[in-house]
Amino acid sequence: MPVDRVTVGSVEIVRVTDGSMFGSPAFFFSGIPSDMYGPALGDDLTPNGTVEVEFGSFLVRSSGKTLLIDTGMGNKRGSPGGRLLDSLKQLGVRPGDIDVVMNTHLHIDHVGWNCIEQDGAFVPTFPNAEYWVAEKEWSFWTSDPDLVAEEGQHLVSDVLPLRDCPQLKLVDGEAAITAEVSLLPTPGHTPGHSSLAISSAGESAIILGDIAHHPLHLERLWIASVDELPRTSRRTKRALAQRLIDEHLLVAAGHFSSGAFGRLVMANGRRSWRTL
């Protein structure tokens, strides 16, 4: 069984899932022919030619605060997810216990539980939480009405309702959530995409966000069809992959179905993912 809980110094990181789905590898590996991704995927490729992707969030306990990193697909509009609140409950965590919700970016599978419907309005699911979003990410998705119309309803139900809400906290650059956990701008998948850098008592880790949906994104630097800025995404992947190797960083990857925690290492001259 892959590990679903790690400690980094005095910080605890726990994987919590909202569910999973199976999708086409062509969706995850943009422009990569099947005779290339097939052998590379190996056992991860199902007999009907799909690959599983997890809707993984992380519960982080740091400096007396409880952080929830991303909120999954949610349960609206026939979502394939919907398990996040149950997953938290199994850990004894109620929505009111969350101090900070942080969205690595504002795609549908990362904001799904941001809000719930109450008396005909969408209100924050986590009543006591600050909602942290990178300013650049927020303005990209919310300032153009045509983009809101094109991208569908998740912005209407789970992003825009936060606009006039005192819980919303828009931040710039490497903002620190606690003394041990900071945003790390990693643009490309979306313009204001952020990972999380964790450092405590001499140990370090990174929560990737959607830098990688599958280990092959780190090993081969392949990009996903859902990357808004493909060339930037590739540059960010390249730089971060090198850092993961050089600093031997512990990695938390919410979409990896084979296990959320691992390390990227060099083996026989190639980047290679090792699940914990």
Interface with Zn ion by CB under 5 A: which residues? 109, 210
Smallest distance, Zn ion to C-beta of residue 178, A: 24
If the CB atoms of residues 213 and 271 are measured against Zn ion, the closer one turns out to be 213
If the CB atoms of residues 61 and 82 are measured against Zn ion, the closer one turns out to be 82
Q: How far apart are CA 23 and CA 54, in angstroms?
A: 11
**CB distance 224 to 236 below 8 Å:** no
Smallest distance, Zn ion to C-beta of residue 112, A: 10
24: Cα separation from own chain's centroid? 19
If the CB atoms of residues 135 and 228 are measured against Zn ion, the closer one turns out to be 228
If the CB atoms of residues 105 and 271 are measured against Zn ion, the closer one turns out to be 105
If the CB atoms of residues 18 and 210 are measured against Zn ion, the closer one turns out to be 210
Run of H or E including 195: strand 194-200
CA distances from 219 to 9, 37, 189, 196, 202 (A): 27, 12, 17, 20, 26
**CB distance 75 to 84 below 8 Å:** no
Q: How far apart are CA 24 and CA 41, in angstroms?
A: 12
Q: Is 233 helix (H, G, I), strand (E, B) or coil?
A: helix
If the CB atoms of residues 53 and 59 are measured against Zn ion, the closer one turns out to be 53
Smallest distance, Zn ion to C-beta of residue 254, A: 7
If the CB atoms of residues 57 and 178 are measured against Zn ion, the closer one turns out to be 57
Q: Is 38 helix (H, G, I), strand (E, B) or coil?
A: helix
Smallest distance, Zn ion to C-beta of residue 213, A: 7
Phi then psi for residue 53, to 5 deg, are -130, 130
**CB distance 273 to 230 below 8 Å:** no
**CB distance 260 to 252 below 8 Å:** yes
Smallest distance, Zn ion to C-beta of residue 76, A: 16
Smallest distance, Zn ion to C-beta of residue 104, A: 8
CA distances from 155 to 110, 136, 142, 233, 253 (A): 11, 15, 8, 22, 24
Smallest distance, Zn ion to C-beta of residue 223, A: 14
**CB distance 275 to 261 below 8 Å:** yes
Dihedral angle sign, alpha carbons of residues 106, 108, 110, 114: positive
